[in-house]
Structure 1
Amino acid sequence: MRLQSGDTLRALMNQKKFSMARMGRYADVSQSFIHRLCTGEKRSCKPRTAERIAEALDVPVGLLFVLNESPNGVRNSSNQKISA
């Protein structure tokens, strides 16, 4: 899933008092991975990671993330092609 805005993620983490280390533990990823998301160095993650981040911040997943588009069309979080 693609992160819409690292700034939004960082602002929500600050509002909810989540350090990058704490968010990493909650989402089961490294602190540096969360840092790279916040700075824009990394723009995407696995759907389960996106769900855990949103859950930790008590926001809908769609507020922070959108589905990645593949060259063959849009795929859902189970990596199944969505027919138009």
Structure 2
Amino acid sequence: MEKEFGYMLKQLREKKGFSINQLAERAGISNSQISRMENGVRGIPKPPTLKKLAEALDVPYAELMNAAGYLESDNSVATHANETLPEWATSKDKRDFKKMLEEDGELMFDGIPLDDDDKQRIKDVLTGLFWEAKQMNKRKKKNDVPPDSPPHS
């Protein structure tokens, strides 16, 4: 996955005519970090880094989230506005996510209602953060050892 994402990132950067240094400056991240991403040695960046890259490259944030594997299609689940889900998500995870999206009160910032573009940006960020947190929780539970377990030799 890291190599595929890195290849796509490099293609996007070159298509825009940016050097690694130019992209680094525009995104506010180090050139070595971009180089490691493109070469598949850094791993998949976190959603906030993807957001910076999307803005610097002038591409949809959801496109980078999808390419990084945070969002994947799952047509077997009816979700709000064709949202996409990671393949590891359980039915409970999907239900939690759907519930989060459907709690659709008026979104405001500083007392001013947000327009549809701002709402979508917030949903994109929340989507990435939601699935990242779920995945970290799953890894944490898998690595937890009960306190009364005998030590491994």
Give TM-score, length-normalised by structure 2.
Answer: 0.42
Distance 1:46 1:3, change over 3 A: farther
> What is the Cα deviation at residue 61 of structure 1?
2.0
Using CA pairs below 8 Å that are at least 6 residues apart, which structure has the higher relative contact order?
A: 1
Q: Which residue of 2 aligns with 1:18?
A: 18
Query: May I ask how many residue pairs the two structures share in their alignment?
Result: 80
1:36–1:42 contact (8 Å) kept in structure 2 = yes
Unaligned runs of 5+ in 2: 72-85, 94-126, 136-153
Amino acid at match of 1:28: G
- Structure 2: distance between partners of 1:8 and 1:43: 14
> What is the Cα deviation at residue 23 of structure 1?
1.3
Q: Which residue of 2 aligns with 1:67?
A: 70
Correspondent of 1:77 among 112, 129, 133: 129
Structure number with greater Rg is 2
Corresponding residue SS for 2:129: coil
How many percent identity over aligned positions?
31
Unaligned runs of 5+ in 1: none
Larger helix fraction of residues? 2
Give TM-score, length-normalised by structure 1.
Answer: 0.70
Kindly provide the CA deviation profile for residues 19-69 of structure 1, in whole angstroms up to 9, marking residues without a partner as x.
Answer: 111111222211000000001011222322111101122211232233397
- Structure 1: distance between partners of 2:25 and 2:35: 13
RMSD: 3.1
